[in-house]
Amino acid sequence: MTSFADEARIALDNLTDRGAGLFHPTLRLGVAGLSRAGKTVFITSLVHNLLHGGRLPMLEAQNSGRISRTYLEEQPDDAVPRFQYEEHIRAVLEDRVWPQSTRAISELRLTIEYESASGWSRLFSPGRLSLDIVDYPGEWLLDLPLLDKDFATFSRESLERARLPARASMAAAYLAVADAVPLDDPADEATSLRLSQAFADYLRACRQDKTALSTLPPGRFLMPGDLEGSPALTFAPLPVEPGRVYPKGSFAAVHARRYEAYKTVVVKPFFRDHFARLDRQILLVDALQAINAGPDAVADLEMALSDILECFRPGRASWLGSLLTRRIDRILVGATKADHLHRESHPKLEAIVRRLVDKAIERARFSGAATEIVAMAAIRATREGTVPDGGRTLPVIVGTPMVGETIGGERFDGETETAVFPGDLPADVSRLLRGGPALDPVTFVRFRPPRVERTEDGIKLSLPHVRLDRALQFLIGDRLT
């Protein structure tokens, strides 16, 4: 996946980080997830609840009163944009809208001062931990598996997926151009540009499609930034033959070279400078949309999650080895939007996500990394209730649907609260991955953020959540003892 020079650069960066950590203990937490999984919402709620003493009973240091102060500090990496916490929390609290999705890598440092649970440790100094939160787009995350794939493998997998029934209509224009390209002929820039644009249009259609298709590399095609129009982004998968040597300057050879340039210019720097420096990782998964879309979308999500988890560097390094090589020793998989289901369905949601990531999680455990799966909602947009229905009682969720949401033919205005029976998830997880009789759909409605009440002093209370405290205890609780 990386060259000797890459590993040397990673080791130097880690040695620098470890040296600084002797005087200022830090923990680098990566927040990852595919598009619409809720990364920005997770970070915003995490910071807000820790800054304002939110209700986090499962976070032992908070529950026992040992956290004395939490505050934001200047982040350590000057070349990385700051996560705009203030802008995002204002959107949630004041405008009651969800913050904008992650568009680029960003970072935030949150420092926690605490009293150690050990009397011996309290004799020397008060505890202090800086949590460096690293947020990056899910589309970039999907690029990491490309490091282990040559152009022929990338092309074969991409074309196979493009021809799947769920994608065929969206990929039709791209496939028509790709199938017509004479692979041995000298490449011309106009055709290469038309190919890459058709491929990018197909990727954008997949991202916007309601079937929740997940596998969308190369991610920078969707977020080109300052690389737009560069040769590193002007290529597309082609029906090349594995192992065959194509003439220099041909379409096959030029696109293969540009694919390798994409990995060198885009993917490797992201892996080396950010991903390989993480201590802990949370992977957020929105499984509900895939479940509603059917077995193809669920299988697609399973494939994407497996590819992503294989890129992590899980395990425990020795004390000496940790000076040069970072290992992710804790991985949390968060099944998001649990507030869209009644709590009776939360164990089933966890079981479904566990099934999707089971093989990759087992490999991480074998390497020595602790893993956990939790159904959660970083910001709880609903509350639970019951309604009578023909002599029985139905469990419902109550919230304010966003403008334009429709339930049973009723279109909502963004102000009216309603009760929704979300349905139930299947007890047999394997039903989601195979064909056969259609499953009863889960009613998936987008709700506005909750209205957060103020105290008598005019101070807004902390954001409600579902199991954010359990996630925090797993991710950082051991570092606050």
Q: What is the pLDDT of residues 367-401, one digit of tens each?
A: 788 899 999 999 999 999 988 877 788 889 999 99
Rounded Cα distance between 98 and 40, Å, is 9
**Greater pLDDT, 7 or 226:** 226
Q: Residue 294: what pLDDT?
A: 79
Q: Residue 28: what pLDDT?
A: 94
Residue 164 lies in a domain: yes
Residues in the chain: 481
Read off the pLDDT of each residue in 250-257 and give the average, rounded to a whole number. 97
The enclosing domain of 121 has a CATH number of 3.40.50.300
Residues 311 and 177 in one domain: no
Provide the 3-class DSSP secondary structure of residue 280.
Answer: strand
Per mean pLDDT, which range of 5-9, 234-238, 283-287, 394-398 is the poorest? 5-9
Confidence label for 321 from pLDDT (cuts 50, 70 and 90): very low
DSSP sequence for 178-238? HHHS-TTSBP-HHHHHHHHHHHHHHHHHHHHSTT------SGGGTS-GGGTTSGGGS----
**Residue 212 to residues 166, 203, 299, 376: CA-CA distances in angstroms?**
10, 12, 11, 20
When the pLDDT of each residue in the chain is averaged and rounded to a whole number, the result is 85
Residues 362 and 473 in one domain: yes
Read off the pLDDT of each residue in 197-226 and give the average, rounded to a whole number. 81
Q: Residue 243: what pLDDT?
A: 93
Provide the 3-class DSSP secondary structure of residue 397.
Answer: strand
Confidence label for 320 from pLDDT (cuts 50, 70 and 90): very low
Residues 209 and 132 in one domain: no
Residues 23 and 99 in one domain: yes
Residues 163 and 81 in one domain: no
* Closest C-alpha among 29, 6, 76, 15 to residue 325: 15
Residue 435 pLDDT greater than 60, yes or no: no
Evaluate whether 182 touches 240 at the Cβ level (below 8 Å): no
Q: Residue 317: what pLDDT?
A: 44
Confidence label for 323 from pLDDT (cuts 50, 70 and 90): very low
Q: Copy the structure tokens of residue 468.
A: 């954010």
Residues 228 and 264 in one domain: yes
Residues 71 and 123 in one domain: yes
* Closest C-alpha among 247, 251, 227 to residue 238: 251
Query: Of 208, 240, 268, at which residue does a domain stop?
Result: 268
Residue 426 lies in a domain: no
Residues 114 and 199 in one domain: no
Residue 392 lies in a domain: no
Residue range of the domain that includes 233: 144-268
Which residues are CB-neighbours of 411 under 8 A, at least 6 positions away?
404, 405
Residue 257 pLDDT greater than 90, yes or no: yes
Domain count within the chain: 2
Residue 430 lies in a domain: no
Provide the 3-class DSSP secondary structure of residue 111.
Answer: strand
Residue 439 pLDDT greater than 70, yes or no: no
Residue 369 lies in a domain: yes
* Closest C-alpha among 349, 271, 337 to residue 310: 271
Provide the 3-class DSSP secondary structure of residue 252.
Answer: helix
Q: Residue 325: what pLDDT?
A: 56
Residue 428 lies in a domain: no
Residues 26 and 46 in one domain: yes
Q: Residue 463: what pLDDT?
A: 92
Paired residues of 389 in beta bridges: 392
Read off the pLDDT of each residue in 148-170 and give the average, rounded to a whole number. 92
Residues 15 and 131 in one domain: yes
Confidence label for 180 from pLDDT (cuts 50, 70 and 90): very high
Residues 115 and 153 in one domain: no
Query: Of 243, 268, 293, at which residue does a domain stop?
Result: 268
Q: What is the DSSP letter of 133?
A: E
Side-chain-side CA neighbours of 350 within 13 Å: the count stands at 13
Query: Of 220, 249, 268, at which residue does a domain stop?
Result: 268
Residue pLDDT, tens place only, 258-283: 999 999 999 998 888 888 889 999 99
Q: Residue 252: what pLDDT?
A: 97
Evaluate whether 38 touches 99 at the Cβ level (below 8 Å): no
Residue 91 pLDDT greater than 90, yes or no: yes
Rounded Cα distance between 335 and 283, Å, is 9
Residue 462 pLDDT greater than 60, yes or no: yes
